[in-house]
Structure 1
Amino acid sequence: METLQIGNVSLTWLSGGVTNLDGGAMFGVVPKGLWSKKYPCNEKNQIELPTDPILIQMDGKNLLVESGLGKGKLSEKQLRNFGVARESELESSLEKVGLSVEEIDYVLMTHLHFDHAGGLTKLEEGQYVSTFPNAKIIASQVEWDEMRNPNIRSKNTYWKENWEAIESQVVPFEEKWNLGAITMIHTGGHSDGHSILVIEDGGELSIHMADLMATHAHQNVLWVMAYDDYPMDSILAKEKWLPYGLGKNAWFTFYHDAFYRAVKWGSDGKQIVESIKRER
């Protein structure tokens, strides 16, 4: 398991599943001749996209960033369409670091699309129950509202199977949510309620841009997904937070990147100067 230390805050990547989605959709209007040089695709034009939650430990608390793809919840058609190469192994990942799902205090949801929220619930005796029964689940109010009342476009990714069983645990926030060194900030863009995560401790900084910068290859502010509901908001958020992070020598962390868990770019943003690679 790969780890990163930000001051007194420790981050550990868990195994939450692997999807393979269309590279064209993941890079929007960017020509394949450009994006495929930075992030390779298979013969079906799909790119590998893990769904790996980050365990954050600080001040005696255990937090998860995202919940993984889930296990045993997708139909054969969904498994095929989403190119699922592996479903979640989250519980066994937690066991490897000496934790159980009951010991998770918070689950921080940057947004609630199925590939992030699938692990919030699990099937037991034919019923969906909370995977993390003692956790507070944090998401922006905008995101939580749309999760329960999706529109004609978003109903394809906001599923009642992922929220009905955890409704009483959700703690929504407006613009920001803070716990010690961690701040969640509502940005919009990828979804209307999308948020990012900033950790600052001991003079060190990490920024989790979530699906505004799903992989290291999405660093260019104009390289946004066709999946983004509000692409100009994605661009504006990247224009704000990328320079901020570069100016402070920040780590940028990833949920979906098949090659890197985290990277630091030089101050000009042109070269990766330090990285934590994902074991493959």
Structure 2
Amino acid sequence: MDILPLPNIRFTWLDGGVTNLDGGAMFGVVPKPLWEKRYPCNEKNQIECPTDPILMQMDGKNILVESGIGKGKLTEKQKRNFGVTKESRLEESLQENGLTTKDIDYVLMTHLHFDHACGLTKYNGENYISVFPNAKIIVSAIEWNEMRNPNIRSKSTYWKENWEGIADQVETFTNEWSWRGIKLIHTGGHSDGHSILVVEDGEETVVHMADIMPTHAHQNVLWVMAYDDYPMNSIAAKQKWMQYGVEKKAWFTFYHDAYYRAVKWDLEGTLTAALERK
């Protein structure tokens, strides 16, 4: 497993599954000859996009960022359309860290699209139940409202199977949620309720931009996805938080990147440090 140790917090990437999504959709209006140099595609024009949750451990608490694509929840057609080559091994990954799903105290959700939220519930033969029964699940109020009342566009990614079993565990926030140096901050952009994660630990800073910067190849603030509901909001948020992170010499972490778990850039945009995905 890939690990990023901070002075008081340990980041561990778990195995949440692998999708392969259309490169054109992932890079929006950016011409293929440009993005392909940064992030290669396969013969179907798909780029590899893992869905690997991050386990943060501090002060005896186990905090999960995102939940993976789950296991046994996607139809064969969905697997084909989303290029799923591997379903989640989240429970096995936790066991390898000496934990079970009952040991998770918080699940921090940047948003609730299926590739982030499928791992929140599982089928028990009768209905969908919570995978993390003892956790508080934190998400923005806007995102939670749209999850339960999707519009004509978003209903394809907000599924009742992913929220009905966890409704009594959800805690929402408006602008910001924080706990001991960990913050979820509402940005909008990718979805109306999208949030990013900012972690301050002593002299170290981590910025998790989630799906407004899904991979290192989306470093350019103008490179946003065609999936984004509000692309100009994505661009504005990227401008603000990338500048913040670079000035703080922060680690930028990723959920979808097939090559890097975390990187640092200098003021000129040059890569200065990287944790590669094994």
Per the normalisation by structure 1, the TM-score is 0.99
Q: What residue is the counterpart of 1:37 in the other structure?
A: 37
Could you tell me which residue of structure 1 aligns to residue 213 of structure 2? 213
2:272 aligns with: 273
Output the CA distance in 2 between the equivalents of 1:229 and 1:87.
26
The answer as to whether partners of 1:6 and 1:199 remain within 8 angstroms in 2 is no
Q: After the TM superposition, which of the residue ranges 123-132 and 138-147 deviates more from structure 2?
A: 123-132
Q: Secondary structure at the match of 2:138?
A: strand
The code of the aligned residue for 2:148 comes to R
Residue 267 (structure 1) shift: 2.2
| CA displacement 1:11-60 (0-9 Å, x = unmatched) | 00000000000000000000000000000000000000000000000111
Give 1:86's aligned residue.
86
Paired residues of 1:188 and 1:233 also in contact (CA < 8 A)? yes
Q: For residue 49 of structure 1, what is the amino acid of its counterpart?
A: C
For 1:55 and 1:235, locate their aligned partners in 2 and report how far apart those are by CA, in whole Å: 28
Distance in 1 between residues matched to 2:212 and 2:252, nearest whole Å: 12
SS at match of 2:242: helix
CA contact (8 A) 1:6 1:201 kept: yes
Asked if residue 22 in structure 1 is aligned to residue 22 in structure 2, the reply is yes
Q: Distance in 1 between matches of 2:268 and 2:169?
A: 42
Provide the rounded CA distance (Å) in 2 between the counterparts of 1:172 and 1:6: 27
User: Between the two proteins, what is the percent identity of the paired residues?
Assistant: 70
1:191 aligns with 2:187: no
3-state SS of 1:129 partner? strand
Q: How does 1:152-163 map to 2 (within 5 A)?
A: 152-163=152-163
State whether residues 6 and 206 of structure 1, in contact with CA within 8 Å, keep that contact through their aligned partners in structure 2.
no
Question: Which amino acid in 2 is paired with 1:5?
Answer: P
Please give the secondary structure, in 1, of the residue aligned with 2:221.
coil
| SS of structure 2 residue aligned to 1:256 | coil
Structure 1 ranges of 4+ moved more than 3 A: none
Residue 130 (structure 2) aligns with: 130
1:150-205 alpha-carbon deviations (Å, 9 max, x no partner): 00000000000000000000000000000101011000000000000000011110
Tell me the CA shift for residue 126 of structure 1: 3.5
Task: Measure how far apart 1:141 and its partner are.
Answer: 0.2
- Secondary structure, in 3 states, of the residue corresponding to 1:217? helix
Amino acid at match of 1:163: W
Report the AA paired with residue 50 of structure 1: P
Query: Normalized against structure 2, the TM-score is what?
Result: 0.99
Q: Deviations over 1:54-89 (max 9, x none)?
A: 000011100000000000011110010000000000
What letter is aligned with 2:199? I
Q: Which runs of 5+ in 1 are unaligned?
A: none
Partner Cα separation in structure 1 for residue 26 and residue 46 of structure 2: 9
Separation in structure 2 between the aligned mates of residue 195 and residue 125 of structure 1, nearest angstrom: 33
SS in 2 for 1:77: helix
How many residue pairs match? The answer is 278
CA apart distance, 1:229 = 0.2
Retained in 2: the 8 A contact 1:249–1:267? no
* CA deviation after TM superposition for structure 1 residue 7, in Å: 2.5
Kept after mapping to 2: 8 A contact 1:66/1:117: yes
2:200 corresponds to: 200
Residues 110-168 of structure 1: CA deviation (Å, up to 9, x unaligned)? 00000000000001124211000000000000000000000000000000000000000
Partner of 1:111: 111
Could you say what secondary structure the match of 1:152 adopts? coil
Unpaired runs of 5+ residues, structure 2, are none
- Output the CA distance in 1 between the equivalents of 2:212 and 2:142: 17
How far off is 1:6 after superposition? 2.6
What code does the residue aligned with 2:149 have?
Answer: N
Distance between the aligned counterparts of 2:4 and 2:119, measured in 1? 23
Give RMSD over aligned pairs: 0.6
